[in-house]
Amino acid sequence: MKSEHLYNYILGIADNSLILGQRLGELCGHGPSLETDIAGTNISLDLIGQTRSYYQYAAKISGENKTEDDIAFLRLERGYKNVLLVEQPNTHFGYVMGRQYLFDVFHLLLLQELQFSKDQTLAAIAKKGIKEVSYHKRFSGDWIKRLGDGTPESTAKMQEAIDDLWPYTQELFDMTDADTAMAQEGIGVDVSKLKESYYKQVKTLLTQATLEVPQSTYFSRGGKNGVHSEHMGYLLADLQYMQRTYPNMEW
């Protein structure tokens, strides 16, 4: 069995993709156009696919005879390590794209560094995911520019979304004990070093979209340590329903 820090480090990455994938999955069939609906669903599937790879590895090293399904569906709310950003609800389409882009920029920066991990499994997952996440970032960024520099209504809604979501961005760069331990071993990424590049990219795109960069100095934290928003419990109720209702179910 490898270190508990490695197990928790993997969960910290994978849970972000699981929860955001679940949020996007909620929108299947509800997109503003058929093409956009399919694109959003495909992004959800990309994220869930990445999650499976991480959870399979986590199950392998757990030493507790767990499966990827056990890790995904049978933890309590406090056991999930995702950031607060990805669990925020689907308020409106601009909000969904804002949430997606603010995560995509970070996600791509993370994978670009993680591909050089000394852990060959994590490095392989990261290398495979870079192409997918590059598309995610391009897709969400294009929509922010289209909505931000669109009609007065679309501009207002896009600005509202960015203003509401901005306070969740700082948590992306917080280092947990697992993050620190794995970064020191050359396995994980020191995400605090990604902060400057992240905000530079985000602010550049917001300017291109004729949106104002929020000036808020208040930031929400807690998700990485299992302290989530009021939205998380409802999300998990949907996500875990089948496994909780029919224990030990197998396809």
Domains of the chain: 4-213+222-245 (1.20.1260.10)
Q: Do 137 and 156 form a contact (C-beta atoms < 8 A)?
A: no
Closest CA to 138 of 105, 106, 162: 105
How do the pLDDT tens digits run along the chain, 251 residues long? 458 999 999 999 999 999 999 999 988 888 788 788 788 889 999 999 999 999 999 999 987 888 999 999 999 999 999 999 999 999 999 999 999 999 999 999 999 999 999 999 999 999 999 999 999 999 999 999 999 999 999 999 999 999 999 999 999 999 999 999 999 999 999 999 999 999 999 999 999 999 999 998 889 999 999 999 999 999 999 999 888 888 877 65
Confidence at residue 1, expressed as pLDDT on a 0 to 100 scale: 42
Confidence at residue 163, expressed as pLDDT on a 0 to 100 scale: 97
Q: What is the DSSP letter of 3?
A: -
Confidence at residue 251, expressed as pLDDT on a 0 to 100 scale: 59
Structural tokens at position 23: 């949020």
Contacts of residue 144, Cβ cutoff 8 Å, sequence gap at least 6: 97, 98, 101, 158, 162, 205, 206, 209, 211
Confidence at residue 38, expressed as pLDDT on a 0 to 100 scale: 85
Could you identify the residue written with the tokens 């109720």?
237
Confidence at residue 188, expressed as pLDDT on a 0 to 100 scale: 97
Q: How far is 136 from 122, CA to CA, in rounded Å?
A: 20
In what helix (H) or strand (E) does residue 139 lie, and over which residues does it extend? helix 120-148
Structural tokens at position 38: 């399919």
Structural tokens at position 161: 């979304």
